[in-house]
Chain A
Amino acid sequence: GDSVTQMEGPVTLSEEAFLTINCTYTATGYPSLFWYVQYPGEGLQLLLKATKADDKGSNKGFEATYRKETTSFHLEKGSVQVSDSAVYFCALRGSNYKLTFGKGTLLTVNP
């Protein structure tokens, strides 16, 4: 079945540091890939998406590129802010329509 593996963290960075959260997946066919973010006490918000190989999703300074050859969709940001502190989830949507999530990565950014 479909699966998503992401670094579980926690990840602690200083403001303005570079962020990478690794995500790899296993799926049949050509899944769509997503990154969601969850702030404390809230539901999930879609951060970015990519629907085919080599697509780059981007939003709010975050980027991720759909790499089919390495089955990866790593999240990056060049300069993190305290307000980026949250839990980040990598997810895929396969041919069966349901979303499969990774376990989430807690990011804490210190001033």
Chain B
Amino acid sequence: GAGVSQTPSNKVTEKGKYVELRCDPISGHTALYWYRQSLGQGPEFLIYFQGTGAADDSGLPNDRFFAVRPEGSVSTLKIQRTERGDSAVYLCASSLGLAGGANEQFFGPGTRLTVL
């Protein structure tokens, strides 16, 4: 497909478990972003990759959250020891990653994570 895809679309897990959320960006987009959207809120920035490296991970809430993008394409967001407060929709976006200028981000449909 031409858009950003995310799997799974829904994930239900128990408190304390480990989860992985996957994002496939638009082909050719060098920049990739993770956001988290809680109920009634707008998306909140988590982490930004330019190529394989995390250029800014200042939005990750704590060290239970980690993300990788080993080959500069697919990215995985990993959450250890999940807590009920982690329940949210996790959104991935990608963009051309142009240096300077405007940089519209294209979002995937999100993964709805529910921690019981």
To the question of whether A and B form a pair in one complex, the answer is no
